[in-house]
Structure 1
């Protein structure tokens, strides 16, 4: 088999797997934002698999330019995907679409006008610096949010997906910046093969975990339904009771930058065990949601208290442990269905 045929086979395999992955995500989890972003990322990656080549060229066929532009814009989708994957409270905003459109449009203009005008090196360098920037944002988001995930298998798969995609995308961006000209058929065949292997590994990893673990059916905060303790779970129940005392009596959720590691130290148990207890016994999938529910319960009591009717909402939010008003408003509405102002007004009218 020639190099060209081998490269084509690798590209076709990557595109086929990515299309199947996108269809599967949309079919099973179309109502979950992270899954929709994952499907969009898979489709953009398919455009990358079909169009990518190492090296700088000033002549890009017209039919090729849209695929390259979509492939470039896909790095914005990747960043949004990592946010949705690790932050179940994440919501798309209008300016996210503007960022994607700007990156995609610049790549398209670069293919059809900037590069043919003799500035191919400039166009390719700028595009790939943008790619590296969004990869850095995605990795930072992963590092920041990873410890809050309470579902152990999901944590490992999520990190693998992000790291594999970031490593491949980062190395390709660096190659494009450093390549002085066409890298040749061998390099492009190797690149296509590596991409096919990464796509296959990600697909395999996703198939080995329950889809409901990776993409929850609902992103709303769960109610607390402790499971009844059996005789062989008495030790776990004692730890749960101790944890809830820390929440109710000491209100540790008010502490700034409180982490699951700090709570585990207070309870004198390994972090993995506390993570498992909060997930399996209290029904939480995310540590920040667990904290925020306690904070919101305190805020609800304060908002319903006639003696605190004149206390500013931001003061109540900060006292409960929130660092700013925006996250408090979003978390409060996700739990109660109304804004803090509306909740206070309803309680006043009902009194």
Structure 2
């Protein structure tokens, strides 16, 4: 088999797997933002698999430019996907779309006008620096959010997906900056083979995790999940009781520096056991949501208290453990369906 045929086989395998993955995500989890972004990322990656070449050329066919632009814009989708994947409460904003349009349009203009006008290196370096910047944002999001994830079976899979995609994208961006001109058929065949292996590994890893674990169908309220074995039930219940005392009596959720590690140390148990306890016995998927629900319960009581009718909402939010008004308002509305001010007014009207 020639190098050209081998490269085509690798590209075809990657595109096929990515299209099947996108279709599967949309079919099973179309109502979940993370799954929709995952499907969009898979489609953008299919455009990358069909169009990418190591090395650069100033002559890009007109039909090829849209694929390259979509491939470049896909790095924005990747960043948004990592945010939604690790934060069940993440929501898209209008400016996210503007960022995607700007990056995609810049790549398209670079293919058809900037590079052919003799500024090929400038165009390539600018695009790849943008790619590296969004990869850094995605990796940073992964590092910042990983410890708050309470679903053990998905934590490693999520990190693998992000790290594999980020490593591949980062290495290719650096190669594009360093390699001048065409890199040849061997380099492109190797790149296509590596991409096919990464896509296959991600698809295999996702199949090993229950889809409901990876992409929750609902994040509105926690529910009780699995029950422990009978021999562990008594010990777990004692730990749950001790945890609830820390929440109710000491109001430990108010502490700015509270983490799951700190809480595990207070209970004198390993961190992994506390994760499992909060997830499987209390039904929470994210540690920050667990803390915020306790904070919101305190805020609801304060907002409904006639004696605190003149206390500013920001003061109530800060007293409950929130660091600023914006996150408090978003979390409060996600739980109650109304803003804190509306909630206070409703309680006053029904008093």
TM tier relative to shorter chain: over 0.9
Q: 1:45 to 1:228 in 2, by over 3 A?
A: closer
Query: Any conservation in 1 of the 2:303–2:343 contact (CA below 8 Å)?
Result: yes
Q: Aligned residue for 2:105?
A: 105
The residue that corresponds to 1:257 in the other structure is: 257
- Give the distance between the partners of 1:66 and 1:282, measured in 2 at CA: 48
CA distance in 2, matches of 1:115, 1:128: 14
Cα deviation code 1:69-128 (max 9, x no counterpart): 000000000000000000011000000000000000000000000000000110000000
SS at match of 1:170: helix
What's the counterpart of residue 123 of structure 1?
123
2:47–2:70 contact (8 Å) kept in structure 1: yes
What's the offset of the Cα at 1:158? 0.3
8 Å CA contact 2:128, 2:174 repeated in 1:
yes
Whether 1:16 aligns to 2:20 is: no
Q: TM-score, normalised by structure 2?
A: 0.98
Q: Residue by residue, what CA displacement relative to the aligned partner does 1:3-54 show, whole Å, maximum 9, x if unpaired?
A: 0000000000000000000000000000000000000000000000000001
Alignment RMSD, CA only? 1.3
Alignment of 1:64-83 (within 5 A): 64-83=64-83
**What secondary structure does 1:118 align onto?**
coil
Output the CA distance in 2 between the equivalents of 1:290 and 1:67: 42
When residues 333 and 117 of structure 1 are mapped into structure 2, their CA distance, relative to the original with a 3 A threshold, is same
What is aligned with 1:207? Answer: 207
Q: TM-score, length-normalised on structure 1?
A: 0.98
CA contact (8 A) 2:313 2:340 kept: yes
- CA distance in 2: counterparts of 1:188 and 1:329, whole angstroms: 50
- Aligned-pair distance for 1:223? 5.2
Q: Is contact 1:226-1:282 (8 Å) kept?
A: no
Would the aligned equivalents of 1:299 and 1:320 in 2 still touch at CA under 8 Å? yes
Moved >3 Å (runs of 4+) = 223-232
Structure 2: tracts of 5 or more residues without a match: none
Runs (5+) with no aligned partner, structure 1: none
Question: Any conservation in 2 of the 1:221–1:289 contact (CA below 8 Å)?
Answer: no
Q: 5 Å matches for 1:1-351?
A: 1-222=1-222, 230=230, 232-351=232-351
